[in-house]
Amino acid sequence: MAEVTLEITRGTPEQGEWVETYTVPYADGMSLLDAVQWVREHQSPNLVVRFSCRSANACKECSAVIDGKVGYLCNTKAVAGSRVKLQPLSTRRWIRDLVTDLD
Ligand code: FES
């Protein structure tokens, strides 16, 4: 079965940060937000990510740093066999895991 490996920055300003690696089964058409949601449902329910619209690029709540570039988790396709690094935005106040202030 094809998989996607996610290296996700976890933690809080109080706890500090660390990287957790998750292996997610790939599905056709899967976005990185779908992959993160799979992790929340099957491996780490306390992983925090913010989103609302899920695909329209309208809410911008799922912004993150994806392999070093700012992007939206919901409209970035996962690639079978890939390894992807996901980090919170560095330009906004970090709250927890992939979530930062909206301002
Ligand atoms: S969930 Fe709204 S832009 Fe990604």
Residue 102 confidence class, pLDDT cut points 50, 70, 90: confident
Does 37 contact ligand 1 (Cβ within 6 A)? no
17 φ, ψ (degrees, to nearest 5): -120, 155
Q: Residue 73's domain is classified under what CATH number? A: 3.10.20.30
Nearest to 48 by CA among 17, 80, 84: 17
Say how many domains are in the chain: 1
- Residue range 54-73, pLDDT digits in tens: 887 789 899 999 999 999 99
Task: Provide the whole-model pTM.
Answer: 0.95
Is pLDDT of 28 > 80? yes
Taking residues 23-27, report their average pLDDT: 98
How many angstroms separate the alpha carbon of residue 33 from the centre of ligand 1? 9
> What is the full DSSP assignment across 17-63?
EEEEEEEEE--TT-BHHHHHHHHHHHT-TT-----SSSSSS-S-TTE
Residue ranges making up the domain that contains 64: 3-100
**Residue-wise pLDDT tens digits, 2-22:** 999 999 999 999 999 999 999
Residue 54: the pLDDT is 84
Phi, psi at 98, each rounded to 5°: -90, 5
Task: Assess whether the C-beta atom of 102 lies below 6 angstroms from ligand 1.
Answer: no
